[in-house]
């Protein structure tokens, strides 16, 4: 997993510069491209092709905003 802190700081700095920054808790993840999964090259060959395909598919859904771990957890915790 790679966390792009410079990108996160840049996003906040842009909001401050534009005058749109609002103090709040920010959740920056895959959707904002601040967090990405990068397999270590030395270990990549140990990951099954099917698993890589599933991860790639899930990352695509996250980037499109069609899947969110937060929403999944909130749904699972919701009273029934």
pLDDT tier for residue 51 given thresholds of 50, 70 and 90: very high
pLDDT tier for residue 39 given thresholds of 50, 70 and 90: confident
pLDDT at 27: 81
Number of H helices, E strands in the chain: 4, 2
Total domain count, the chain: 1
Q: Which domain holds residue 39?
A: 2-77
pLDDT at 12: 93
Secondary structure letter of residue 2 according to DSSP: E
User: Residue 24's CB: how many other CB atoms inside 10 A?
Assistant: 6
C-alpha 14/C-alpha 79 separation (Å) is 39
pLDDT at 19: 97
pLDDT at 36: 83
pTM exceeds 0.85, yes or no: no
């Amino acid at each position: 997993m790679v966390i792009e802190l410079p990108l996160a700081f840049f996003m906040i700095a842009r909001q401050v510069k534009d005058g749109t920054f609002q103090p709040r808790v920010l959740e920056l993840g895959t959707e904002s491209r601040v967090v990405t999964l990068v397999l270590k090259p030395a270990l990549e060959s140990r990951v099954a092709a099917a698993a890589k395909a599933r991860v790639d598919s899930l990352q695509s859904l996250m980037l499109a905003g069609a899947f969110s771990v937060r929403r999944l957890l909130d749904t699972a915790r919701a009273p029934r």
